[in-house]
Amino acid sequence: MSNLSLDAIPWLQLFGTTPLEIIATLSAVLGVVLIARQNILGWPLGILWATISAWLAFTQWQLVSDGILYLTYIPIQLYCWIVWARGGGIRQEDPFVPIWLPFKKQLFVVIAAFLCIVGWAFGVSTLAAQVSWVPEPALLWRDSATTVLNFFAQFLQAHKRMENWVIWLVVNLLGIHIYWVKEAPIYSVQYAIFLVLGIYGWVKWHRSTRS
């Protein structure tokens, strides 16, 4: 049983213990706020966060897998930035505003996400069994779900589909749980902050769909 409590969280270190960590965390938080407000400047902040996080993962934390994951965020954020700059790549007369996907496409996203999570989990577990330097994955299915759903959410967010906030809700809830179980309360609290920001984003975008 974990002895973690709110008293155990070093609140002054919540955003990081080094200048780079603090810059990365603040970039991530401000970036989400700007995206929630449909401000395109949120994407370059996301690129800054991913770049710093990748650098820290490789050079300070020795987290190779996380470092690779952060590196993949850079082109994804750049893609999102380009899509928004082009107004969603749709006809000029069509407004680039948040919308919900039709039900059939929502069902397709759910099925595709499920299959990708299964494939990712089996791929990671197989890799760990075959390659000696790859550690045995912890919380395999939950960790796989957060990784895969992260990509789905960012793609939907790039095209201003409301479903992205639903996926972020799942990712953030899983993140809170995963890092609390792994006794990393600072990261757990950070995911709680992102959860609140995700709800804020959903509210802001939902108001846009109504108007």
Predicted pLDDT of residue 61: 63
- CA dihedral for 45, 49, 54, 55, sign (positive or negative): positive
Predicted pLDDT of residue 75: 94
Predicted pLDDT of residue 10: 66
Dihedral angle, C-alpha 185, 167, 47, 50, nearest 10 °:
40
Which mean pLDDT values do the consecutive 10-residue runs of the chain (211 residues) have? 59 68 88 92 94 83 67 92 80 74 96 95 86 75 89 92 96 89 76 92 87 64
Phi-psi region of 91 (alpha: psi -120 to 50; beta: other; left: phi over 0): beta
Measured N-to-C along each axis, helices 140-158 and 103-130 cross at an angle, to the nearest 10 degrees, of 140
Give the H/E segment covering residue 62.
none
Predicted pLDDT of residue 1: 47
Domain boundaries, the chain: 15-90, 99-211
pTM: 0.81
- CA dihedral for 165, 27, 64, 13, sign (positive or negative): negative
